[in-house]
Protein backbone atom coordinates (compact mmCIF):
# COMPACT_ATOMS: atom_id res chain seq x y z
CA UNK A 1 0.00 0.00 0.00
CA UNK A 2 2.63 2.49 1.10
CA UNK A 3 4.94 1.31 -1.64
CA UNK A 4 2.26 2.25 -4.19
CA UNK A 5 1.28 5.46 -2.47
CA UNK A 6 4.73 7.05 -2.47
CA UNK A 7 5.24 7.22 -6.25
CA UNK A 8 1.66 8.44 -6.69
CA UNK A 9 2.20 11.15 -4.11
CA UNK A 10 5.48 12.12 -5.79
CA UNK A 11 3.69 12.22 -9.17
CA UNK A 12 1.01 14.53 -7.75
CA UNK A 13 3.63 16.66 -6.04
CA UNK A 14 5.35 17.22 -9.38
CA UNK A 15 2.15 18.93 -10.52
CA UNK A 16 2.17 21.56 -7.76
CA UNK A 17 2.94 24.37 -10.21
CA UNK A 18 0.03 23.21 -12.36
CA UNK A 19 -2.30 23.50 -9.36
CA UNK A 20 -1.04 26.99 -8.61
CA UNK A 21 -1.30 28.03 -12.24
CA UNK A 22 -4.79 26.52 -12.59
CA UNK A 23 -6.07 28.30 -9.47
CA UNK A 24 -4.68 31.59 -10.72
CA UNK A 25 -6.21 31.03 -14.16
CA UNK A 26 -9.51 30.02 -12.60
CA UNK A 27 -9.73 33.24 -10.60
CA UNK A 28 -8.69 35.34 -13.57
CA UNK A 29 -11.00 33.55 -16.00
CA UNK A 30 -14.00 34.28 -13.79
CA UNK A 31 -13.46 37.99 -14.09
CA UNK A 32 -11.61 38.18 -17.40
CA UNK A 33 -12.35 41.35 -19.32
CA UNK A 34 -14.14 42.92 -16.34
CA UNK A 35 -12.63 46.03 -14.83
CA UNK A 36 -13.72 45.52 -11.22
CA UNK A 37 -12.68 41.86 -11.19
CA UNK A 38 -12.95 40.21 -7.82
CA UNK A 39 -15.13 43.00 -6.40
CA UNK A 40 -18.03 41.48 -8.27
CA UNK A 41 -17.80 38.44 -6.01
CA UNK A 42 -18.95 40.73 -3.22
CA UNK A 43 -21.52 42.74 -5.11
CA UNK A 44 -24.09 39.98 -5.40
CA UNK A 45 -24.33 38.97 -1.73
CA UNK A 46 -24.06 42.61 -0.66
CA UNK A 47 -26.88 43.64 -2.97
CA UNK A 48 -29.00 40.91 -1.46
CA UNK A 49 -28.09 42.04 2.06
CA UNK A 50 -28.92 45.62 1.14
CA UNK A 51 -32.32 44.67 -0.24
CA UNK A 52 -33.31 42.59 2.77
CA UNK A 53 -31.95 45.15 5.19
CA UNK A 54 -33.89 47.97 3.60
CA UNK A 55 -37.09 45.97 3.41
CA UNK A 56 -36.95 43.90 6.54
CA UNK A 57 -34.66 45.48 9.13
CA UNK A 58 -37.34 47.77 10.63
CA UNK A 59 -39.76 44.88 10.89
CA UNK A 60 -37.30 42.42 12.33
CA UNK A 61 -34.54 44.17 14.27
CA UNK A 62 -36.54 44.41 17.45
CA UNK A 63 -37.08 40.66 17.42
CA UNK A 64 -33.40 39.67 17.24
CA UNK A 65 -32.62 38.64 20.80
CA UNK A 66 -29.29 38.78 22.64
CA UNK A 67 -27.85 41.59 20.52
CA UNK A 68 -26.64 45.03 21.45
CA UNK A 69 -25.84 46.75 18.14
CA UNK A 70 -28.42 48.66 16.15
CA UNK A 71 -27.11 46.99 13.03
CA UNK A 72 -27.87 43.54 14.43
CA UNK A 73 -30.08 42.51 11.53
CA UNK A 74 -27.70 43.39 8.63
CA UNK A 75 -24.85 41.71 10.51
CA UNK A 76 -27.01 38.66 11.23
CA UNK A 77 -27.94 38.56 7.56
CA UNK A 78 -24.39 38.99 6.33
CA UNK A 79 -22.86 36.36 8.60
CA UNK A 80 -25.51 33.86 7.54
CA UNK A 81 -25.02 34.83 3.91
CA UNK A 82 -21.26 34.35 4.24
CA UNK A 83 -21.72 30.75 5.40
CA UNK A 84 -24.38 30.09 2.79
CA UNK A 85 -22.43 31.66 -0.09
CA UNK A 86 -19.28 29.70 0.71
CA UNK A 87 -21.26 26.46 0.95
CA UNK A 88 -23.39 26.94 -2.16
CA UNK A 89 -20.54 28.24 -4.33
CA UNK A 90 -18.32 25.33 -3.40
CA UNK A 91 -21.22 22.99 -4.16
CA UNK A 92 -21.78 24.54 -7.57
CA UNK A 93 -18.05 24.36 -8.32
CA UNK A 94 -17.99 20.67 -7.49
CA UNK A 95 -21.13 20.10 -9.51
CA UNK A 96 -19.74 21.69 -12.66
CA UNK A 97 -16.11 20.73 -12.46
CA UNK A 98 -16.13 17.55 -14.56
CA UNK A 99 -18.27 18.89 -17.37
CA UNK A 100 -16.52 22.28 -17.43
CA UNK A 101 -13.10 20.68 -17.50
CA UNK A 102 -14.27 18.04 -20.00
CA UNK A 103 -11.97 19.26 -22.77
CA UNK A 104 -8.98 19.14 -20.48
CA UNK A 105 -9.89 15.68 -19.17
CA UNK A 106 -10.26 14.36 -22.71
CA UNK A 107 -7.11 15.96 -24.11
CA UNK A 108 -4.47 15.99 -21.42
CA UNK A 109 -3.23 13.27 -19.11
CA UNK A 110 -2.76 14.73 -15.64
CA UNK A 111 -3.75 13.53 -12.14
CA UNK A 112 -7.54 13.90 -12.09
CA UNK A 113 -7.55 14.04 -8.30
CA UNK A 114 -6.07 17.53 -8.58
CA UNK A 115 -9.31 18.94 -10.03
CA UNK A 116 -11.08 19.10 -6.64
CA UNK A 117 -7.87 20.47 -5.13
CA UNK A 118 -7.91 23.27 -7.69
CA UNK A 119 -11.62 23.93 -7.05
CA UNK A 120 -11.00 24.00 -3.30
CA UNK A 121 -8.03 26.32 -3.74
CA UNK A 122 -9.83 28.87 -5.87
CA UNK A 123 -12.96 28.69 -3.67
CA UNK A 124 -10.77 29.35 -0.62
CA UNK A 125 -9.25 32.44 -2.18
CA UNK A 126 -12.69 33.66 -3.27
CA UNK A 127 -14.02 32.94 0.22
CA UNK A 128 -11.14 34.79 1.87
CA UNK A 129 -11.75 37.79 -0.39
CA UNK A 130 -15.45 37.71 0.44
CA UNK A 131 -14.70 37.46 4.16
CA UNK A 132 -12.24 40.35 4.19
CA UNK A 133 -14.63 42.59 2.29
CA UNK A 134 -17.47 41.69 4.66
CA UNK A 135 -15.23 42.37 7.65
CA UNK A 136 -14.56 45.79 6.18
CA UNK A 137 -18.32 46.38 6.03
CA UNK A 138 -18.70 45.21 9.65
CA UNK A 139 -16.01 47.64 10.76
CA UNK A 140 -17.80 50.38 8.87
CA UNK A 141 -20.96 49.53 10.82
CA UNK A 142 -18.98 49.75 14.05
CA UNK A 143 -19.02 46.03 14.78
CA UNK A 144 -15.51 45.15 15.96
CA UNK A 145 -14.04 41.67 15.79
CA UNK A 146 -13.17 39.76 18.96
CA UNK A 147 -11.42 36.52 19.91
CA UNK A 148 -14.24 34.36 18.52
CA UNK A 149 -13.27 35.40 14.99
CA UNK A 150 -10.45 32.86 15.30
CA UNK A 151 -13.14 30.28 14.48
CA UNK A 152 -13.61 31.78 11.04
CA UNK A 153 -10.78 30.08 9.07
CA UNK A 154 -11.97 26.70 10.36
CA UNK A 155 -15.62 27.50 9.62
CA UNK A 156 -14.76 28.65 6.10
CA UNK A 157 -12.82 25.46 5.44
CA UNK A 158 -15.73 23.42 6.80
CA UNK A 159 -18.30 25.27 4.64
CA UNK A 160 -16.17 24.77 1.53
CA UNK A 161 -15.46 21.12 2.29
CA UNK A 162 -19.13 20.35 2.93
CA UNK A 163 -20.23 22.12 -0.26
CA UNK A 164 -17.50 20.64 -2.42
CA UNK A 165 -17.96 17.06 -1.20
CA UNK A 166 -21.70 17.17 -1.94
CA UNK A 167 -21.08 18.98 -5.22
CA UNK A 168 -18.51 16.42 -6.39
CA UNK A 169 -20.89 13.50 -5.84
CA UNK A 170 -23.62 15.17 -7.89
CA UNK A 171 -21.00 16.47 -10.34
CA UNK A 172 -19.97 12.90 -11.12
CA UNK A 173 -23.59 11.86 -11.58
CA UNK A 174 -24.12 14.94 -13.73
CA UNK A 175 -21.64 13.61 -16.31
CA UNK A 176 -24.12 10.81 -17.01
CA UNK A 177 -27.39 12.59 -16.18
CA UNK A 178 -27.12 16.23 -17.19
CA UNK A 179 -30.49 17.09 -15.61
CA UNK A 180 -28.78 17.18 -12.26
CA UNK A 181 -26.99 20.41 -13.10
CA UNK A 182 -30.38 22.02 -13.73
CA UNK A 183 -32.07 20.50 -10.69
CA UNK A 184 -29.50 21.33 -8.03
CA UNK A 185 -29.93 25.15 -8.15
CA UNK A 186 -33.68 24.68 -7.69
CA UNK A 187 -33.10 22.49 -4.64
CA UNK A 188 -30.58 25.03 -3.32
CA UNK A 189 -33.15 27.79 -3.61
CA UNK A 190 -35.58 25.86 -1.44
CA UNK A 191 -32.79 25.06 0.98
CA UNK A 192 -31.87 28.73 1.24
CA UNK A 193 -35.34 29.63 2.46
CA UNK A 194 -35.48 26.62 4.76
CA UNK A 195 -32.33 27.92 6.44
CA UNK A 196 -32.57 30.76 8.98
CA UNK A 197 -30.54 33.34 7.09
CA UNK A 198 -32.99 36.07 6.19
CA UNK A 199 -35.13 35.35 9.26
CA UNK A 200 -34.23 34.09 12.72
CA UNK A 201 -35.51 30.84 14.12
CA UNK A 202 -36.84 32.71 17.15
CA UNK A 203 -39.30 34.54 14.89
CA UNK A 204 -41.05 31.32 14.00
CA UNK A 205 -43.65 29.51 16.12
CA UNK A 206 -41.84 27.02 18.39
CA UNK A 207 -43.67 24.00 16.96
CA UNK A 208 -41.73 24.35 13.69
CA UNK A 209 -38.31 24.53 15.31
CA UNK A 210 -37.97 20.74 15.33
CA UNK A 211 -37.91 20.57 11.52
CA UNK A 212 -34.86 22.82 11.35
CA UNK A 213 -32.86 20.31 13.35
CA UNK A 214 -32.88 18.20 10.17
CA UNK A 215 -31.23 20.88 8.08
CA UNK A 216 -27.44 20.64 8.45
CA UNK A 217 -26.88 23.88 6.53
CA UNK A 218 -28.82 25.68 9.26
CA UNK A 219 -26.17 24.46 11.70
CA UNK A 220 -23.47 25.85 9.44
CA UNK A 221 -25.03 29.30 9.08
CA UNK A 222 -25.81 29.33 12.82
CA UNK A 223 -22.11 28.80 13.51
CA UNK A 224 -21.24 31.84 11.39
CA UNK A 225 -23.93 33.89 13.14
CA UNK A 226 -22.68 32.74 16.55
CA UNK A 227 -19.11 33.74 15.84
CA UNK A 228 -19.67 37.01 13.99
CA UNK A 229 -22.80 38.51 15.48
CA UNK A 230 -23.24 36.93 18.93
CA UNK A 231 -19.47 36.62 19.44
CA UNK A 232 -19.69 33.26 21.15
CA UNK A 233 -18.42 29.75 20.46
CA UNK A 234 -20.44 27.68 18.01
CA UNK A 235 -21.90 24.37 19.22
CA UNK A 236 -19.00 21.91 18.91
CA UNK A 237 -21.15 18.89 18.20
CA UNK A 238 -22.74 20.74 15.27
CA UNK A 239 -19.30 21.19 13.77
CA UNK A 240 -18.45 17.54 14.37
CA UNK A 241 -21.72 16.55 12.70
CA UNK A 242 -21.06 18.80 9.68
CA UNK A 243 -17.51 17.44 9.41
CA UNK A 244 -18.87 13.89 9.50
CA UNK A 245 -21.40 14.64 6.77
CA UNK A 246 -18.64 16.17 4.65
CA UNK A 247 -16.50 13.08 5.29
CA UNK A 248 -19.34 10.74 4.24
CA UNK A 249 -19.87 12.68 0.99
CA UNK A 250 -16.12 12.74 0.35
CA UNK A 251 -16.00 8.94 0.68
CA UNK A 252 -19.12 8.52 -1.48
CA UNK A 253 -17.65 10.81 -4.16
CA UNK A 254 -14.34 8.95 -4.15
CA UNK A 255 -16.15 5.61 -4.30
CA UNK A 256 -18.32 6.70 -7.21
CA UNK A 257 -15.28 8.16 -8.97
CA UNK A 258 -13.43 4.87 -8.74
CA UNK A 259 -16.48 3.10 -10.15
CA UNK A 260 -17.03 5.42 -13.12
CA UNK A 261 -13.52 6.67 -13.89
CA UNK A 262 -13.05 4.28 -16.83
CA UNK A 263 -16.24 5.64 -18.41
CA UNK A 264 -15.92 9.28 -17.42
CA UNK A 265 -14.01 10.57 -20.45
CA UNK A 266 -16.36 8.69 -22.81
CA UNK A 267 -19.29 10.80 -21.64
CA UNK A 268 -17.68 14.22 -21.65
Partner 1 sequence: MSVLINVENLGKAFRTYPSASQRIRSWLGLRTKGVQDVWVLRHLNFQVFAGEAVGLVGENGAGKSTLLKMIAGTLAPTEGKVELLGDVRAILELGMGFNGEFTGRENARHGLSMMGLSAEEAEALLPEVEAFAEVGDYFDRPLRTYSSGMQMRVTFAVATARRPQVLIVDEALAVGDAYFQHKSFEKIREMQQAGTTLLIVSHDRGAIQRICDRVILLENGQISREGDPEVIMDYYNAMLANKGNQKHSVQSEQLEDGRVATTSGTGEATIQRVSLYSAETGEPIEIATVGQALELRVDLHIHEAIDQLVVGYVIKDRLRQDVFGTNTHHLDQVLDNLEPGQTLDYRFRFDCNLGEGSYSFSVAAHADDTHVRHNYHWKDLACTFEVVNANKKRFLGVAWVPPTLAIEHSTTTTGEAP
Instruction: Please select the residue that binds partner 1; options are 82, 92, 105, 168, rule is CB under 8 A.
Output: 105
Q: Applying CB under 8 A, does 259 fall inside the site for partner 1?
A: yes
Q: Answer yes or no whether residue 260 interacts with partner 1 by CB under 8 A.
A: yes
Q: By C-alpha distance, which of 210, 47, 15 is closest to 114?
A: 15
**Looking at beta carbons only, is 26 or 226 nearer to partner 1?**
26
Considering the complex, state which of residue 31 and residue 199 has its C-beta at the smaller distance from partner 1. Answer: 31
Q: Which CB, 169 or 228, lies closer to partner 1?
A: 169
- Residue number with CB closer to partner 1 (30 or 238): 30
Length of the chain: 268
- Taking the C-alpha atoms of residue 103 and residue 48, their distance in angstroms, rounded to an integer, is 35
Query: Residue 14: helix, strand or coil by DSSP?
Result: coil
Choose the binding region for partner 1 from 22-30, 60-68, 119-127, 212-220 (rule: CB under 8 A): 22-30
Of 108, 147, 186, 213, the residue at the interface with partner 1 (CB under 8 A) is 108
CB of 39 to partner 1, least distance (A): 18
Q: Which residues contact 141 (CB under 8 A, 6 or more apart)?
A: 69, 71, 74, 75
Q: Give whole-number Cα distances, 118 to 82, 172, 247, 259, in Å.
A: 21, 16, 19, 22
- CA 253, 254, 260, 261 torsion: positive or negative? positive
- For position 34 contacting partner 1 by CB under 8 A, the verdict is no
Query: Contact between 32 and partner 1 (CB under 8 A)?
Result: yes
Q: Which residues of 193-222 are buried (b: 16+ CB within 10 A; e: fewer)?
A: eebbbbbbeeeeeeeeeeebeeebbbbbbb
- Residue 10 interacts with partner 1 (CB under 8 A): yes or no: no
Establish if 33 lies at the interface with partner 1 (CB under 8 A).
yes
Using CB under 8 A, list all residues that contact partner 1. 11, 14-18, 20-22, 25, 28-29, 32-33, 101, 103-110, 176-177, 256, 259-266
Amino acid sequence: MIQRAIPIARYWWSYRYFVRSAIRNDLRARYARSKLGLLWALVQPLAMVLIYTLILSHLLSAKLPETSTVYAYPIYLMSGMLGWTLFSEALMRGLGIFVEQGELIKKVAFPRALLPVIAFGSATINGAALLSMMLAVFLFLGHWPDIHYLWLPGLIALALWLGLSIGLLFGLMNVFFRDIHQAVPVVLQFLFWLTPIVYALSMLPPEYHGYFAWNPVAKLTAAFQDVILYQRNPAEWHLVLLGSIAMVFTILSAGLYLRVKHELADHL
